[in-house]
Structure 1
């Protein structure tokens, strides 16, 4: 009976080592290769203008249309000045900031109140 204990331990070691070998035999273990971290690329000014226009139209088109409907005498050039003073336009030149405000007003009207689109276009072109 004394031989059973060492034999059991030896059998356990063989089985455990065999399980490990069996699970890895014929299989390649993937090695972790370093993947390059994505580098942030700066947006060009036209891309930034498009991105900010889209975001502002999505957020504020209904507000723009409500203001247009409630204030038929609203001077849109004053509205452009308010947009520029109120909302962040980081990374844009002064010319692009004005274009952003125009786009937001025009696209907001087109999206949420098409009946105001003609008025917006006419008022903004009278500058």
Structure 2
């Protein structure tokens, strides 16, 4: 009888599991609300980082910090855009120009495990990048 009960339960749940979608209820008369929390133990941080020089190979690595997400912004006071990317990012003169962020604009959130995986470059020495990570 126990095997029969488990078989019936499996037959009932199999179609429901097969139809399941992220964040959507498979029960037509119920509402399913889901929320994803990656790691709530990481405190939000923000900082402003100077990009002291410009040039094709001039880039600044962001601070070594375990994070879930980062949002970057080019301050309004910058004299030109900044470029965000990985360890080979360049400014507009290079072949690996990063994501361009004009003064006053932002980019993100970027899902990443450590903020030091992001690099920034600029066309104008002395530009800054603001970041907010959690």
TM-score band (shorter)?
Answer: under 0.3
Higher fraction of strand? 2
Higher fraction of helix? 1
Which structure carries more relative contact order (alpha carbon 8 Å, separation 6+)? 2
TM-score using structure 1 length: 0.23
TM-score using structure 2 length: 0.22
Q: Compare CA radii of gyration and give the structure with the larger one.
A: 1
